Amino acid sequence: MHTKGIEKAYTAVKINKMFRYPLSVITALAIWVVCMIPIPETPLDDVSFIDKWTHFVMYGTLTAVIWVEYALRHKVVAWRRLTALGVVLPVVMGCAVELAQAYLTTCRSGDWIDALCNAMGVLLGAAIGGSVICYRQRG
């Protein structure tokens, strides 16, 4: 009985920490929604690799938001933790989204090149976020 109370408290703490980063959570949820719904045809469909550019921008934005939001919430940067949460987690999410598209939808298809574009976007977002953190630490 006592361990269940501890587990509930631990879970509540984890959830509370997650909501300390509301823009990151909202951005991640928005990506999940956009990636799982059918996308209507648009004039942008004629742009070469528009789907790949979209993945690149979405994950670059997500990662930059994570890093900047982290910088706003912490005076001292824990680089290992930030790298784990701000690089590894978005890359894993990108792969999970592609698997979900492949196996859980009928209107979308998973693509390993999309996952690669997601990862490249993550690297760009981390570079932008890291630059913001370095700028803030100097000033």
Q: Which residue has the higher pLDDT, 4 or 110?
A: 110
DSSP state of 38: P
User: How far is it, in rounded angstroms, from Cα 49 to Cα 122?
Assistant: 18
Q: What is the pLDDT of residues 95-135, one digit of tens each?
A: 999 999 999 998 888 899 999 999 999 999 999 999 999 98
Q: What is the pLDDT of residues 68-102, one digit of tens each?
A: 999 999 989 999 999 988 999 999 999 999 999 99
Please determine, for residue 4, whether its predicted confidence score (pLDDT) is greater than 90. no
Question: Which band of pLDDT confidence, cut at 50, 70 and 90, is reported for residue 29?
Answer: very high
Please determine, for residue 11, whether its predicted confidence score (pLDDT) is greater than 70. no
Cα 16 to Cα 10, 21, 98: the distances in Å are 10, 9, 28
Q: What is the pTM of this model?
A: 0.84
Q: What are phi and psi of 47, to 5 degrees?
A: -75, 130
User: How far is it, in rounded angstroms, from Cα 104 to Cα 35?
Assistant: 11
Please determine, for residue 12, whether its predicted confidence score (pLDDT) is greater than 60. no
